[in-house]
Amino acid sequence: MPPSPADRSNATSPTNLIHRAARIEDSFHEVRGRLARRRGHLPTVIPYAGYGTTQWVRILCRVLLAKPLKHKPYESARRFRRRAERREAGIRGWRSFTSVPLRDVTVTIDINGVIHRVHADRGGVVDTVVQIELSPGRHTARLHTDSSVTVEAPVFVVAPIVTNGIISDVDDTVMVTTLPRPLLAAWNTFVLDEHARVPTPGMSVLLDRLAVKNVGAPIIYLSTGAWNVAPTLTRFLSRNLYPAGTLLLTDWGPTHDRWFRSGRDHKSANLRRLAGEFPEIRWILIGDDGQHDEAIYAEFQREFPGSVAAVAIRQLSPGQAVLAGGRSKDTAQGTPDAPWFYGPDGSSLADQFAAHGLL
């Protein structure tokens, strides 16, 4: 498999080709990094769930400078671990942005004794493909830098016989939001406690039933959210009984060639990548009618007609639609081989899936 776009983006670009905003951001992080190290902060690898086939796996993680949690006198390892988990679970989203990303640091990946070393990108993110032969099912990748502790990242290997997969949006699809769209990302990230986030009625049941119906299917949560909130989103999905899957998020801030990243491009690029990585899989796409999901999914279906099994669009309430800036006007009818379903919640969508024999 050729290097992915993410692999190529991890390479350091010549300074004169990097956008001025990105250079300013890099300088800012370098200053913060020096100050953080003086305060005793240490490199920490944040692991994310990956996926792959029996020939390769996609490994995802982020490297930060973070304040270590110290053992109390006479504290057992079990109690220390519980205290660390409680602290992590109680952190509001804004705290995840106070840690300093480590750029260009080398991360060692160990899968079943096979060692690979890769470099994190400007935002400290590692998104790389490792060539390795693995059996279908769940595996563990062990990740560390030269000066960090080793952490474990789950990796799901898709069996060659699997024919369906599930891709779902997050905001307004699996999680209800009640703010104007321009303020949504900032509020969810910097203010709202993760326990205050509300799951969309019936959506966890729908995704769980689809996962049971399609045994061994890869499950992808594709969102325009920042990697900083990945741990928060993972806990939210688990606590509300959504099936475990891989989060594909993005990195905020300027890129090497523009001021801001495009969320729509992020989703479209990952859909195309998944279609190329799994040419035999037909995807069930789940989104809402308050963003660009309909247009993105329709474009993907036109480009890869054989890669879409069905599309489910959650219809926002009138109030939610107003806050989202209106409804999308890209309503599609679908085809007999790839129907489109519309409904206000997971229950109504599940009924339509069942009527078409997809549940």
pLDDT in tens, 153-203: 999 999 999 999 999 999 889 987 655 455 555 555 555 555 567 899 999
The DSSP H or E segment spanning 348 is: helix 346-355
For CATH 2.60.40.10, the residue range(s) in the chain are 5-157
Q: Distance (Å, rounded) from C-alpha 59 to C-alpha 122?
A: 17
Contact criterion met (CB below 8 Å) for 200 and 346 = yes
Contact criterion met (CB below 8 Å) for 269 and 5 = yes
Q: Give me the amino acid identity at 113.
A: G
Contact criterion met (CB below 8 Å) for 124 and 105 = yes
- DSSP one-letter code for 171: B
Phi, psi of 252 (to 5 degrees): -75, 165
Q: Distance (Å, rounded) from C-alpha 271 to C-alpha 280?
A: 14
Q: Distance (Å, rounded) from C-alpha 19 to C-alpha 16?
A: 8
pLDDT of residue 13: 41
Pairing of the two strands 198-199 and 175-176 = antiparallel
Nearest to 314 by CA among 325, 327, 301: 327
User: Tokens 């109504």 identify what position?
Assistant: 348
pLDDT of residue 86: 55
Phi, psi of 324 (to 5 degrees): -80, 0
226 - beta bridge partners? 250
164-355: CATH, from 3.40.50.150, 3.40.50.1000, 3.10.20.30, 3.40.50.720: 3.40.50.1000
Residues of the chain under the 70 pLDDT cut: 1-41, 68-71, 75, 80-99, 177-196, 252-262, 291, 317-334
With H, G, I as helix, E, B as strand and everything else as coil, classify residue 302: helix
Q: Give me the amino acid identity at 9.
A: S
Q: Distance (Å, rounded) from C-alpha 25 to C-alpha 39?
A: 21
Put simply, whether the predicted model's pTM sits higher than 0.85 gets the answer no
**Domain 5-157: which topology?**
Immunoglobulin-like (2.60.40)
For CATH 3.40.50.1000, the residue range(s) in the chain are 164-355
Q: Distance (Å, rounded) from C-alpha 126 to C-alpha 7?
A: 8
Task: Please calculate the CA angle 333-336-342 and round it to the nearest 5 degrees.
Answer: 40
Scanning 135-202, the segments in alpha helix (DSSP H) are: 181-186
Pairing of the two strands 114-119 and 164-168 = unpaired
Q: Give me the amino acid identity at 323.
A: L
**Burial class of residue 160 (count of CB atoms within 10 Å of its CB; 0-12, 13-18, 19+):** exposed
Q: Distance (Å, rounded) from C-alpha 267 to C-alpha 167?
A: 11
